[in-house]
Structure 1
């Protein structure tokens, strides 16, 4: 069966009538002699000589990630029921503060019927210097980085951070707060940052945390989900306990350290209380220079795609990375653009950018000779990079000793 006949949902909403129609169309193709990909494991019959509608429905359910048609139907019914009977009143949601690492679900929460307040901490902790400083020093460093990297007025960047962190400092005294997170580095760093600020665990601090949604082929984040699916997620929240807060404190200090060794130890040690943390930290470690080429994983995957295509639009590189190649998608488009700029804005660039009169997503990218050499391991990027870069508290300065990461995500010192 071709990929074109497998329309996965992007927002988590599955139209059961559409799936019934697809099952009937598939049944007709089977009767005409088409052999489905999973025919060898169709339950209830050892042959497809007389295919049935239930067999076709089973195949459709399997394509969407369910073990049976009834399981698919039950999931659709559960989302529909949650949308009609969200139970917000019973859970006192109106006095709840919803916390998120951006504003991507603020509108959808309202559409779904949530009435509590919304608060975000949009500090992009997966980028730039993140150090264990006093709050005022920390905000000064971060606002300066955010202003410089995203071309935001420094006063405005400072104001935003002041507001967000002032609200965060009051989290411990709130009646009921819910953190909405996915499994990627952006969200998991937000999670440990929030929890690490707590002196003690509030009575009702809860977490909604997901790494996949049934029926969504490529889950990027909660922001892509339909409002009804947010209502379905609401009953799945769980209480944050002292163990989770302690793990977050340790992870935050490890991330802020000038050495990645402690961070690597946590990244290779799954945590029961925060199950998505270790994989996210492991992915973040891969933003350190690789031992062979000096590239972060984001840079390497992007350059590989440009090298394969030859000449390609900037925006298409981002789409390919997020849609296919990135193992744990975490970057927004502007963040990706900022990550790639040093590879272009250098006296010895790895990429040539043309059509600069256009908006950046439409500009064309092509590898330079040095870009090809770095990709093949014949040159090492930090020997040519125009500026320092950070992974948490670890700073990589061009032509100076620094930390790298090997193929097993183990830190290695390059003297």
Structure 2
């Protein structure tokens, strides 16, 4: 293609995208300059000339006119991006995507998520759980204040022109998605647009594990793929969130059996959630069984265990703290399943506000199976009837020496026990 043809094509009229990004336009001008210079290296051209070409291409008198218009639009159309991980938030901040970044810190797949409480009570219950989960020490008054402030920061989304939700297909993200769709569909004003980016694959990744894998340029490439939330998406999210908070897990099965097309990754995520119920085989959850299988097949350090368990999941949904907590609970059971030996107490690596343990230090902990664990793997013992259970699954609380609900992996159904 000749340089003259490139210039002609660049001057063909086109419209600005609905959400123009000035940084992206600057890159486009530089790309045009590079293409022209590669075609005719002997011809002297500058960036300003290419900016002028691009400005006229978009129907403006000059580059300054385009800049003034685009920056004015960006200022009047304030945007908030909501993500559910600090890593994704940092990547977005380092990208060319315009707007503010808000990280919603939650882990709905652990602890109580009850449905028979007020929103204020719900916020406090969740804040209390997260404080205990991450070994924070907070008074009830501090927890109430923190819960109120956290909710206020989320509800400040109504002050923006547009709110964009960024999620992937894993269980962790999908539970955030249904909660935020349910909440924001009621909390936002009619003047605020609610948009969604939700992906399960990304070009160039043979095994895509989630948004956390992407670099700033890759994240930015998703920005223009967002779409306005539909009524069908909101309706399904509301049903799913209500079911997730119900004390009857059959409501989740009803959502799974229904039409989940509006949120295409939700069905698999909810099935994966139900697989965390105690199994009919040995009373362990799928994740707990995967940990035991990893150790049984030679992963005796934390790093290799994390890798093996992640490989066993089509869409890994847990971080290191979540997996360490599961290992800790198996090791501290009345009849232990694992032995964990290391330089200090294993609980010390669960505290997120302390100094993070370097990866090189993690593998100083050694993990091994107990004889009881081998019986569990063979289906010769039951973890719940031996150790009891005290665990929440959304709005369901299993407590005692038997679990009312069990997961049958053969027919992929919950079984109710008397």
Please, what TM-score do these two structures have when normalized by structure 2?
A: 0.74
Partner of 1:320: 308
Change (3 A) 1:100 1:158: farther
What SS is found at the alignment partner of 2:387?
Answer: coil
Partner of 1:241: 230
Name the CA distance, whole Å, in 2 between partners of 1:265 and 1:166: 33
Once the two structures are superposed, what CA deviation does each residue of 1:94-137 show, in whole Å capped at 9, x if it has no partner?
61000011222222222212331111221101111111121221
Mind listing any 5+ residue stretches in structure 2 that lack a counterpart?
A: 1-23, 30-66, 350-361
- Give yes or no for the alignment of 1:178 onto 2:164: yes
Deviation, 1:89, is 5.8
Once the two structures are superposed, what CA deviation does each residue of 1:333-389 show, in whole Å capped at 9, x if it has no partner?
111112222111122011111124277532111111111111111111111336511
What SS is found at the alignment partner of 1:119?
Answer: strand
Name the CA distance, whole Å, in 1 between partners of 2:266 and 2:287: 19
- Alignment counterpart, residue 323 of structure 2, candidates 314, 336, 345: 336
Change (3 A) 1:251 1:342: same
Name the CA distance, whole Å, in 2 between partners of 1:247 and 1:289: 27
- Alignment counterpart, residue 149 of structure 2, candidates 152, 155, 163: 163
Name the CA distance, whole Å, in 2 between partners of 1:83 and 1:314: 46
Name the CA distance, whole Å, in 1 between partners of 2:156 and 2:71: 24
Instruction: Mark the structure with the bigger radius of gyration.
Output: 2
Deviation, 1:401, is 4.3
Change (3 A) 1:145 1:200: closer
Please, what TM-score do these two structures have when normalized by structure 1?
A: 0.74
Partner of 2:413: 410
Partner of 1:107: 90
Change (3 A) 1:330 1:234: same
Deviation, 1:200, is 7.2
Change (3 A) 1:199 1:173: farther
Aligned runs of 1:128-277 on 2, under 5 Å?
128-132=111-115, 133-154=117-138, 160-172=146-158, 174-197=160-183, 198-199=185-186, 202=190, 203-277=192-266
Partner of 1:397: 399
Name the CA distance, whole Å, in 2 between partners of 1:237 and 1:92: 17
What SS is found at the alignment partner of 1:154?
Answer: coil
Name the CA distance, whole Å, in 2 between partners of 1:115 and 1:372: 53
Name the CA distance, whole Å, in 1 between partners of 2:204 and 2:259: 27
Mind listing any 5+ residue stretches in structure 1 that lack a counterpart?
A: 1-80
Change (3 A) 1:143 1:384: farther
Partner of 1:31: none
Q: Over aligned residues, Cα RMSD in angstroms?
A: 2.6
